[in-house]
Structure 1
Amino acid sequence: MNDDNSRALYDRALSVMPGGVNSAVRAAIEPYPFFVQKGDRGHVIDADGNRYIDWVMGLGPLLLGHNLPESVQAGIQQKASEGPMYGTPTEIEVDLAEFVVRHVPSVEKIRFVNSGTEATTSAVRLARGYTGRNKIVVNQGGYHGAQESTLVDGDAENVAPSSAGVPQSFAEHTIPVPFNDEDAVREAFEKHGDDIAAVMTEPILANYGIVDPDDGYHDFLREITDEHGSLLIFDEVITGFRVGGLGCAQSEFDITPDLTTFGKIIGGGFPVGALGGRAEIIEQLAPSGPVFQAGTFSGHPVTMAAGLETLQFAAANNVYDHVNTLGDQLRAGLTDIVAEQAPEYTVAGTDSMFKVIFTRDGEAPSNAADVKNAETDRWRRVFWGQMKAQEVFLSQNQFECQFVSYGHTEADVEETLEAYKHAL
């Protein structure tokens, strides 16, 4: 497999970009990432003409795959042809807001922003502004973007920034607890309940392997936050409009959070984020309230068109039946392969998300520590390259999720399962 052009491009990139990339995870591929030239349905083609089945799907946004249906493409192109952006409201952002409010019961009002990170940053600020409190409870291994309030390591008693440049004083307002650990959450509220503004959690840990909640865990979070006057924030940047269909993961778990953050699919593959929830809370955002939030590109008309056309197409064309059926086929096939060839590993995922986690005991992980203790180096340094050699593109490390799109086929699934048989 020739990769001369990708190597040359990476050499050029190292001269002008830190690590040769614009997002750190892209450099996880060793010795250098391949550069994609274009997408084709459920595949990508790199700068050297190599073709791969793509299960990364832009790290989640591409629900429809790389070739957008004609109606979706036309809607995007129309908005782009009318002008890039205006600095004033447009009808299309109202249309998308109405669609989300209509389909996600917990969202009474919504504010569009430009990234998942911006959405979670705004959610934390809003929770603090609304409650008048400072502390945020998060799950260890949960990813809420590149923001100061959640770039933390450690536990409730020994928290520290996970990145240089984040002051310790910021981290001290964050309380990390293990996912699925009700006792740790209770202890946090016993000690700091009067100053906890919110618990922020992914419904499913989807950026640290894939870790499902224990039965009743989210109900417990709903109850304890209500009891203490704190907010419950669901970070659905990854799961939103993927798990649970148009109702999102919260509908799957029958939980009504106070705030929800969105990204990825809600923009149809274009840069986006959103923050939605109870009207009385969202209305605390400027200009109707005292919590400042603004952005030049927020509600960008091309992004709004891409998001609306994507979601409308998904609603009208059985997209979720297609991607979830293929997801079931992948997980079933992988479960059989793992049982035969690597019984210590586990298959994780739901709906159109999937992952083989290189656990050491055959037990599905219940928190981030379980995933961290898996054979992460083997996954990245040995297995990933073996899959790439068979023209299957998986996420860049053990932790990132993998996604099925409307552009994938049963043939893609069968070819991928054969590649797993050879690589495991």
Structure 2
Amino acid sequence: MNHEQSRDLYDRALSVMPGGVNSAVRAAIEPYPFFVERGDGGHVIDADGNRYVDWVMGLGPLLYGHDLPQPVEAAIQSHASEGPMYGTPTEVEVEHAEFVTRHVPSVEMIRFVNSGTEATVSACRLARAATGRDKIVVMQGGYHGAQESTLVEGDGDAVHPSSPGIPQAFAEQTLTLPFNDKEAAQTLFEEHGDDIAAVLTEPILANYGIVHPVEGYHETLRDLCDDYGSLLVFDEVITGFRVGGLQCAQGKFGIEPDLTTFGKLIGGGFPVGAIGGRAELVEQFTPAGDVFQAGTFSGHPVTMAAGLESLRYAAENDVHDHINDLGDRIREGLTDIVADQAPEYTVAGTDGIFKVLFSRTAPETFDGHCEAGCRQRTDCPRFDHCPKNAADVKAGETDRWRRVFWPKMKDQGIFLAQNQFEAQFVTYAHTREDVEETLEAYKEAL
């Protein structure tokens, strides 16, 4: 493939943007990222005219790929043509809030913001105010946006900031847990329960390799939060309206958190975030309550129209059925390939997300394994080998994935997430032909 235009654009970008990008993960591709010119259904075309099957999909905000259904496109154009924004409430904000509260089990009220990061920042502030406590529990390796309360590393209460520029005092208010470790959660609450404002977790660890919860893990967190008067906060920025359909992952798992943060799909491909939950909590935001939260672009009418019409179309058509069927097909195909060519690797994902984790140990047999993505079944012969948390994913062959495997897939016209940790997304625009082409490329690359 020729990449002269991308190389030249990256050279120019290095002069005016740090690292040549506006989000760090985009620079993970070596020696430089390709620059996308346009999208086409389930594909992207780069600046040099190379065409790729796109499984990145903007890192998650796209439910329909790069071709929007006509009602969604019409709603976006209509609101954009009526004026960019007003600094006042609009009807479409109310309609979108009503749609979400009708479909997501735990959400009685919602506050729209502008990014997933802003949503988790606001959720932490609200949890601290509602409980009168300061400490936030996060999963080790979990990502909840570029915010001071969650950019930490370490074990339990022995943590430190994971980025320069964050005072240690912030990290001292954060506790960490290994995902899927029920015993560690119980011990942490026994030691610090009276100081814990909230547990913040993804229902599926989806920003660090896609790790499914073991049976009873979320129930344990729910019970501990209830026993100690803490709040359970689900970060559904990635899983929201993708895993579990319109009920989100919390509906799929049958767990009702106290608060939920949203992003990506709730905005139909436009910048967005949201915090939803029980009315008695969410109405503590100003102006109804005293917890300050505000934003010039919050509830932007074009974003609200895009998000609402995207979800309405999904509700009225077989969007999630199509996506989930293709997701099962690609994960089943990948499982067959891995069993034959790389039995130490793990196929992960559910519904419309998937990944092959380059884990290092293999079971003696594949009989009875999870056929369409690891579900952490205790009776599966792979159970003791499948990654259970972020540390397990990180211990895999990450350099091989990035330096050898990813370029081989790219050279075959398959665009995968830029590192082993980000999820990959199936959309309504993808086809069985896209899946088959991708599976053939996996066979070659592995």
- After TM superposition, list the pairs within 5 Å mapping 1:194-205 onto structure 2: 194-205=194-205
**1:324 maps onto 2:324 in alignment:** yes
**1:364 maps onto 2:390 in alignment:** no
Question: Separation in 2 of the partners of 1:183 and 1:71?
Answer: 49
Equivalent residue number for residue 169 of structure 2: 169
Q: Structure 1 length as normaliser, TM-score?
A: 0.99
Whether the aligned pair in 1 keeps the contact of 2:20 and 2:27 (CA below 8 Å) is yes
Question: Helix, strand or coil for the counterpart of 1:67?
Answer: coil
Shift in Å at residue 228 of structure 1? 0.4
Shift in Å at residue 23 of structure 1? 0.2
**1:409 maps onto 2:431 in alignment:** yes
Shift in Å at residue 156 of structure 1? 1.0
Equivalent residue number for residue 92 of structure 2: 92
Deviations along 1:353-375, whole A, 9 cap, x unmatched?
Answer: 00000000132211111000000
Deviations along 1:70-124, whole A, 9 cap, x unmatched?
Answer: 1110010000000000000000010100000000010000000000000000000
Deviations along 1:236-295, whole A, 9 cap, x unmatched?
Answer: 000000000000000011001000000000000000000000000001101111110000
Question: Separation in 1 of the partners of 2:265 and 2:109?
Answer: 18
Question: Helix, strand or coil for the counterpart of 2:355?
Answer: strand
Whether the aligned pair in 1 keeps the contact of 2:62 and 2:427 (CA below 8 Å) is yes
Question: Separation in 2 of the partners of 1:207 and 1:156?
Answer: 20
Whether the aligned pair in 2 keeps the contact of 1:348 and 1:364 (CA below 8 Å) is no
Question: Helix, strand or coil for the counterpart of 2:212?
Answer: coil
Equivalent residue number for residue 210 of structure 1: 210
| Aligned amino acid, residue 425 of structure 2 | F
Deviations along 1:32-88, whole A, 9 cap, x unmatched?
Answer: 000000000000000000000000010011011101011110010000000000000
Deviations along 1:277-316, whole A, 9 cap, x unmatched?
Answer: 0000001101111110000000000000000010011111
Question: Helix, strand or coil for the counterpart of 1:260?
Answer: strand
Equivalent residue number for residue 392 of structure 1: 414
Equivalent residue number for residue 422 of structure 1: 444
Equivalent residue number for residue 22 of structure 1: 22
After TM superposition, the runs of 4+ consecutive aligned structure 1 residues lying more than 6 A away are none
Equivalent residue number for residue 286 of structure 1: 286
Query: Could you tell which deviates more after superposition, 187-196 or 245-254?
Result: 187-196
Question: Separation in 2 of the partners of 1:420 and 1:203?
Answer: 28
Gaps (5+ residues) in structure 2?
363-384
Whether the aligned pair in 2 keeps the contact of 1:266 and 1:272 (CA below 8 Å) is yes
| Aligned amino acid, residue 337 of structure 1 | I
| Aligned amino acid, residue 90 of structure 2 | T
**1:267 maps onto 2:267 in alignment:** yes
Whether the aligned pair in 2 keeps the contact of 1:136 and 1:199 (CA below 8 Å) is yes
Question: Separation in 2 of the partners of 1:86 and 1:371?
Answer: 46
Question: Separation in 2 of the partners of 1:328 and 1:280?
Answer: 39
Equivalent residue number for residue 110 of structure 1: 110
What is the number of residues matched between the two proteins? 424
Whether the aligned pair in 2 keeps the contact of 1:379 and 1:397 (CA below 8 Å) is yes
Gaps (5+ residues) in structure 1?
none
Whether the aligned pair in 1 keeps the contact of 2:157 and 2:174 (CA below 8 Å) is no
Equivalent residue number for residue 31 of structure 2: 31
Equivalent residue number for residue 380 of structure 2: none
Whether the aligned pair in 2 keeps the contact of 1:135 and 1:173 (CA below 8 Å) is yes
The percentage of counterpart residues that share the same residue type is: 75
Question: Helix, strand or coil for the counterpart of 1:146?
Answer: coil
Equivalent residue number for residue 234 of structure 2: 234
Question: Separation in 1 of the partners of 2:166 and 2:314?
Answer: 40
Whether the aligned pair in 1 keeps the contact of 2:38 and 2:44 (CA below 8 Å) is yes
Question: Separation in 2 of the partners of 1:21 and 1:172?
Answer: 31
Equivalent residue number for residue 188 of structure 1: 188
Whether the aligned pair in 2 keeps the contact of 1:127 and 1:198 (CA below 8 Å) is yes
Equivalent residue number for residue 378 of structure 2: none
Question: Separation in 2 of the partners of 1:157 and 1:394?
Answer: 36
Equivalent residue number for residue 395 of structure 2: 373
Shift in Å at residue 157 of structure 1? 3.5
- After TM superposition, list the pairs within 5 Å mapping 1:43-82 onto structure 2: 43-82=43-82
| Aligned amino acid, residue 188 of structure 1 | L
Deviations along 1:117-157, whole A, 9 cap, x unmatched?
Answer: 00000000000011000001110111100000000000113
Equivalent residue number for residue 276 of structure 1: 276
Question: Separation in 2 of the partners of 1:136 and 1:69?
Answer: 40
Question: Helix, strand or coil for the counterpart of 1:25?
Answer: helix
The Cα RMSD (Å) is 0.6
Shift in Å at residue 186 of structure 1? 1.4
Whether the aligned pair in 1 keeps the contact of 2:286 and 2:293 (CA below 8 Å) is yes
Equivalent residue number for residue 245 of structure 2: 245
| Aligned amino acid, residue 133 of structure 1 | R
Shift in Å at residue 188 of structure 1? 1.5
Equivalent residue number for residue 142 of structure 1: 142
Equivalent residue number for residue 309 of structure 1: 309
| Aligned amino acid, residue 75 of structure 1 | A
Whether the aligned pair in 1 keeps the contact of 2:153 and 2:159 (CA below 8 Å) is yes
